[in-house]
Structure 1
Amino acid sequence: MSTLGSFIWSIADQLRGPYRPNQYGNVILPLTILRRLDCILEPDLETVRELAATYSSPGRCKLEVNKATGRPFYNTSNYSFANLLEDADGLADNLADYIDQWSPDVDVFEYFDFKKEILALEKAGLLRQVITSFKAVDLHPDVVSNADMGDAFEFIIRKFNEAANETSGDHYTPRDAIRLLVDLLLAEKDADLTEAGIVRTLYDPTAGTGGMLALAEEHLLGQNPDAKLSLYGQEYNPQSYAICKSDLLAKGHDASNIAFGNTLTDDAFKDRQFDFCMSNPPYGVDWKQYAKAITEERASAGPYGRFAPGLPSTSDGQMLFLLHLVHKMREPEDGGGRVGIVMNGSPLFNGAAESGPSNIRKYLLEEDLVEAIVALPTNMFFNTGIATYIWILDNIKHPDRQGLVQLIDGTSFWTKMRKNLGAKNRELSEEDRDNVLRLYADFTDADPDYSKVLRNDEFGYWTIAVERPLHDDTGMPVVDRKGKPKPDPKKRDTENVAFTFGGSSAGAAGKIEVIQAYFDAEVKPHVPDAWIDWAKVKTGYEIPFTRHFYKYVPPRPLAEIDADLEKQVAKILDLLREVEQ
């Protein structure tokens, strides 16, 4: 729990009465952002005002301010937290003026509709009291680090959503999970990332409050303080977008790299690709309302469009984000790109052969893009206890990994939290993350309880239709004009045949031989009159993660079970006797 977040949230107690708890965030979040930017600007306030008076063009003013202070934003108002309270009667108007005079890229307050809140606070007689409280909080980066500020924002959002009886899942990914994702995403490139003066780009299409972007930057700069990491992101939730953008502004990044809008229907970085891409998209979110736009885009973009490999069910859009990220990877000839994405279990196996999800997996595996998949412990996220997985993709895999996928079972690497946070009662300690990273780096089957390395074709299968003849009233097979038996639809059966059946390593090329061998061994001996309808054969791909790590646990001996039952019966009888007495 963030101490700073708790302190800032305590200011909300002043809002009781005129505001309901689920409305507190409308005041607290924008004022926290305003005070953060105010504290950053305060040491150079006079310099900035002089430059603003000299250069009327916003572009030129921004350039000169950046040269003088190293910051990409400014404010031309005569007001700040330092003097807002001096004019008691004009506080509301002066605060509105302060908000209006930020440089054009500081558009974050528009997304809170904060001027309306200023009037509401003034009407309730609370404005002066709240501004006084925020003035007392020093949020300069020298006092409150960027990491602590991020924790505070996410704490406030979680509290705000709890009060509104909503989920924080769309906004907040636990920091421990992000750290593992970042470690894995950057692991294969760690050697390259230590070079002096390197420039890399990182993109998150579901940026939320910017937690993933912030921790990735922290990781890279921890390795190489001279590195330059350009951060890009898009976010559709107005408040999360405002927090993310203000966080990047505070760190000196180009705020125009953070876009507002729905990534699936309006890609703000259509013509850009990136060195690293990462995301924790919402799970199980219905995209029916966007289906028309996405389907039309797929049809018009052709085989090179971002959704060309297939479309998942409209009840779950996770795999749309997965395809989007693949489309955003820098081309191999330009240095290649890597993707890290957190998803639940359904993208591993949902959909039958030749369905949208299966075709997406087919594309990813046949193009040799999937490098590793890591199963996380359950109860890791605030709003769900379901199983989650980190997928790592790379379009220029290390030679040792080409044609292979590593599955890592990290479900047992967790540390119990002292206090539950929603559904989250487990976290990944540094030791837990190190255990997963060690397995990733070792890249062997030497520890099969935790790591499996499989060929891409081991996830492929064919679904075959097994037909049996239709019989007439006399029990004779019904035949067509050519004398071939007609199939009985009621007796039709389907079988899934693994590419690797019989030890085959031919992959998709072994289709005829492997299917026939399966049929001869597994079907024909039991139903001699059956045959394969080759026209109905379909190709599918699935990643049965849990099956690869399944451990058989034999049932207890009957005598032991009987003994336990007798004990329970004895207890029940004793309780009944007590009642009778």
Structure 2
Amino acid sequence: MNSTTNQRLAQLIWNIADDVLRDLYVRGKYRDVILPMTVLRRLDSVLAETKQNVLSTKKTLDAASIVNQDAALRQAAAQDFYNTSPFLLKDLRAASTQMQLRQNFEAYLDGFSPNVQEILENFEFRNQIPRLTKADALGTLIEKFLDPTLDLSPKSLDNHGMGSVFEELVRRFNEENNEEAGEHWTPRDVVKLMTRLMFEPIADSIPDGTYLLYDGAMGTGGMLTVADDTLNELTAGKKIDTHLYGQEINAETFAIAKADLILKGDGRAADNIKGGPEFSTLSNDAFAGKEFDFMLSNPPYGKSWKTDQERMGGAKSITDPRFIVEHDGDPEFSLVTRSSDGQMLFLANLIAKMKNDTVTGSRIAEIHNGSSLFTGDAGQGESNIRRYVMENDLVEAIVALPLNLFYNTGIATYIWVLSNRKQDRRKGKVQLIDATKWFTPLRKNLGSKNCELSAANIDAIMATFHAFDEADAEVSKIFDNADFGYYKVAVDRPLRLVDAEPGRVYKPAEIKALRATSERADAAPAVIKKLHKFGVVADPLRGLFEAEVDGKTRVVEYERDTELSDTEQIPLTEPEGEYASGIEAFLRREVLPYASDAWIDESKTKIGYEVSFTRHFYKPAPMRTLDEIRADIRALEAETDDLLSEIVG
């Protein structure tokens, strides 16, 4: 079945919407009827030959009072689905009234197997029946789908072809409703790039065997099916068996994904698709404890996950091992992000499902917006996730994609590529690829989408990825993992008050009273809050100063001035030089020359990670020459003189 035939069949189905639903539904709601009817027509065609076998098996099972009938009925239908009603779609045409047609159609729907029922329920298709019946459109709709020119039977259309027809319909409806498309539909060109980044580096070394593919925010399931196709293409000639797993919270898109797999003959895979409003990946992991070989996702950006957070007991009570991990000696290292944006938690979910005991390990490709690179302060969840993946050497590359590549947003997007089996040359390294200039303009915009990644564009990105060098530093740069890390250091200075007595140690209550009555001044005495025992060694950089107390030199601590408190962001790679640490070297060079009484509170030092594409790939606009500036000034002077002459004249 070629693509031209698939397009023709999709167009015939598309035309049914205009013929039957034009005055009954707004255009954006056609999909509520057309997609489930397409599914029903295909399933009906597939089940026609074994219908009588299913009915007789059902009768036998009922007579024997057997409750668990699903497996036997699937076997009778020779499919992973079945229908136990006495009807095929063509039989419904015999109804003499609209009411009888509705009753028979509902009985027909009720006869489908539980997996198909799940699709119908999430499509909310039964809610459309009263409206179609009232408008006398149900019979016409069924008649249109039974038209001989729309042959969806397996004799004329194999499973792959049917899947292509269905995906074409989904694509058209998504593009028709472009304001919603980006929520559920990642452009195929982007998915193709993601799957190549995920599979190509190890395609030649993947051994024969069974591999599990997973998407924790699967939308309509396109990523999984493209990934499956890409893996099979790249491993042609090998004995590769794949199993697809996915989870999706949106009911309709979950129904589309499950239906797509069933229509492609992947009924077993459809059983591994979990979804609906009760199946949020963050708060209700349908595959807890399961590990996967390949994972990819396009999670929602900037979407609050507060509801999930509350279901999990609140931000401070979360114990899910996906988000509370052991790292750097901390058994409760938190990856929990702020409730305003949960996108990075989807990455943490994938990381928790990586295989560590296989030759190929696990590979991940996930799309994020720019905030994933830098939001979250040191010690916060977003930064901790970046720290966790960098310090565990999981990130191979981050690819910056062109703007306006998605249907409903023009924001910057990035593909994160992760692996726990990095090539030797990539170990300890991260490659940043600026692919923002590699795109092909569309002839007609699709919402915010005005460009695409052509095959040549994808090849160029892949060539840069495989080269893993800085031959073209404008598009590819290689960094050590630690280059993205920094210490956030708290820097304090003494509270200096005019009325403070030099050499006097103040109690907390006295300091509070003194603050209320005295003025601050740079030349005033520093307020001493603690006196150390003899033998304690002074260390001004860490707040241990020498001062005269009762005529003796003692080691003291000063009350900090909250108005002068500040923080410094110091690279992890800061060289130590002659000092004990890079932090000390930085402070002695950059802080103490300007504030000699400053010290650091080491208890507040935190490690953070961020990635700045702008800093690494920034190209400043060339400065204008003096001759150009001089020429502009002379032109303005001449223009001014002409205007002045006109006024005076």
Fold similarity call, TM over 0.5: yes
CA drift of 1:307 comes to: 4.3
**Aligned match of 2:353:** 328
| 2:593 paired with 1:525 | yes
SS at match of 1:264: coil
Change (3 A) 1:271 1:503: same
Separation (CA, whole Å) in 2 of partners of 1:426 and 1:571: 43
C-alpha contact (below 8 Å) 2:39/2:263 kept by paired residues? no
**Aligned match of 1:133:** 144
Amino acid at match of 1:278: L
Find 1:286's aligned residue among 283, 296, 304.
304
Separation (CA, whole Å) in 1 of partners of 2:201 and 2:312: 33
SS at match of 2:366: strand
SS at match of 1:170: helix
Separation (CA, whole Å) in 1 of partners of 2:42 and 2:640: 64
**Aligned match of 1:205:** 216
Find 1:102's aligned residue among 94, 112, 129.
112
Runs of 5+ in structure 2 lacking a partner? 1-5, 63-67, 326-333, 499-520, 532-546, 548-555, 643-649
SS at match of 2:247: strand
422-431 or 5-14, which deviates more: 5-14
| 2:284 paired with 1:266 | yes
Separation (CA, whole Å) in 2 of partners of 1:572 and 1:397: 66
State how 1:148-227 maps to structure 2 within 5 Å: 148-159=165-176, 161=177, 166-193=179-206, 195-196=207-208, 198-223=209-234, 224=236, 226-227=239-240
Q: Deviations over 1:155-176 (max 9, x none)?
A: 22443x45xxx52222111111
CA drift of 1:533 comes to: 2.9
State how 1:78-93 maps to structure 2 within 5 Å: 78-89=86-97, 90-93=100-103
CA drift of 1:310 comes to: 1.8
Separation (CA, whole Å) in 1 of partners of 2:451 and 2:36: 31
CA drift of 1:277 comes to: 1.2
C-alpha contact (below 8 Å) 2:483/2:572 kept by paired residues? yes
Find 1:535's aligned residue among 603, 606, 612.
603
Separation (CA, whole Å) in 1 of partners of 2:618 and 2:318: 44
Q: Deviations over 1:550-572 (max 9, x none)?
A: 22222334654676799899999
Separation (CA, whole Å) in 1 of partners of 2:641 and 2:411: 40
Change (3 A) 1:551 1:314: same
**Aligned match of 1:507:** none
C-alpha contact (below 8 Å) 1:40/1:250 kept by paired residues? no
CA drift of 1:263 comes to: 1.0
C-alpha contact (below 8 Å) 1:345/1:387 kept by paired residues? yes
Q: Deviations over 1:272-312 (max 9, x none)?
A: 1111111101111011122223355984637x444443211
| 2:2 paired with 1:10 | no
CA drift of 1:346 comes to: 0.5
**Aligned match of 1:384:** 409
State how 1:116-131 maps to structure 2 within 5 Å: 116-131=127-142
Change (3 A) 1:53 1:440: farther
Amino acid at match of 2:108: Y
SS at match of 2:171: helix
State how 1:441-452 maps to structure 2 within 5 Å: 441-452=466-477
**Aligned match of 2:430:** 405
Change (3 A) 1:148 1:63: closer
Change (3 A) 1:3 1:283: farther
**Aligned match of 1:577:** none
SS at match of 2:181: coil
Change (3 A) 1:376 1:43: farther
C-alpha contact (below 8 Å) 2:218/2:248 kept by paired residues? yes
Separation (CA, whole Å) in 2 of partners of 1:320 and 1:238: 21
Change (3 A) 1:350 1:214: same
SS at match of 1:82: helix
Q: Deviations over 1:101-141 (max 9, x none)?
A: 12222121122332232232111111111122222333356
C-alpha contact (below 8 Å) 2:57/2:73 kept by paired residues? no
Amino acid at match of 2:88: S
Separation (CA, whole Å) in 2 of partners of 1:444 and 1:477: 57
Instruction: Give the TM-score normalised by the residue count of structure 1.
Output: 0.88
446-455 or 511-520, which deviates more: 511-520
Change (3 A) 1:60 1:527: closer
**Aligned match of 2:564:** 491
Separation (CA, whole Å) in 2 of partners of 1:511 and 1:399: 33
CA drift of 1:360 comes to: 1.4
Runs of 5+ in structure 1 lacking a partner? 505-509, 575-581
Q: Deviations over 1:434-484 (max 9, x none)?
A: 111111111122222111221111111112223333333272331314344
SS at match of 2:103: helix
SS at match of 2:563: helix
Separation (CA, whole Å) in 2 of partners of 1:416 and 1:568: 39
Separation (CA, whole Å) in 1 of partners of 2:633 and 2:211: 64
Separation (CA, whole Å) in 2 of partners of 1:287 and 1:467: 36
Amino acid at match of 1:41: L
State how 1:237-386 maps to structure 2 within 5 Å: 237-253=250-266, 254=268, 255-260=270-275, 261-295=279-313, 299=317, 301=319, 304-308=321-325, 309-332=334-357, 336-386=361-411
CA drift of 1:72 comes to: 1.6
CA drift of 1:75 comes to: 2.1
How many residues get paired? 559
C-alpha contact (below 8 Å) 1:30/1:114 kept by paired residues? yes
Q: Deviations over 1:13-61 (max 9, x none)?
A: 3223333334333212211221232334345555555655566653342
SS at match of 1:168: helix
C-alpha contact (below 8 Å) 1:2/1:155 kept by paired residues? no
Change (3 A) 1:139 1:555: farther
Instruction: Give the TM-score normalised by the residue count of structure 2.
Output: 0.79
335-344 or 412-421, which deviates more: 335-344
CA drift of 1:535 comes to: 3.0
CA drift of 1:10 comes to: 3.3
Separation (CA, whole Å) in 1 of partners of 2:640 and 2:225: 58
SS at match of 1:476: coil
272-281 or 548-557, which deviates more: 548-557
Find 2:242's aligned residue among 217, 229, 243.
229
Amino acid at match of 1:10: N
Q: Deviations over 1:469-513 (max 9, x none)?
A: 333327233131434444322222221111122489xxxxx9951
Amino acid at match of 1:74: Y
State how 1:570-581 maps to structure 2 within 5 Å: none
Amino acid at match of 1:541: Y
CA drift of 1:314 comes to: 0.9
Separation (CA, whole Å) in 2 of partners of 1:425 and 1:573: 47
Structure of larger gyration radius: 2
Separation (CA, whole Å) in 2 of partners of 1:118 and 1:341: 39
C-alpha contact (below 8 Å) 1:30/1:112 kept by paired residues? yes
Separation (CA, whole Å) in 2 of partners of 1:51 and 1:535: 72
Separation (CA, whole Å) in 1 of partners of 2:315 and 2:405: 35
Q: Deviations over 1:154-200 (max 9, x none)?
A: 322443x45xxx5222211111111111111112221234x44x211
Separation (CA, whole Å) in 2 of partners of 1:391 and 1:95: 48
Separation (CA, whole Å) in 2 of partners of 1:552 and 1:188: 34
Change (3 A) 1:11 1:468: same
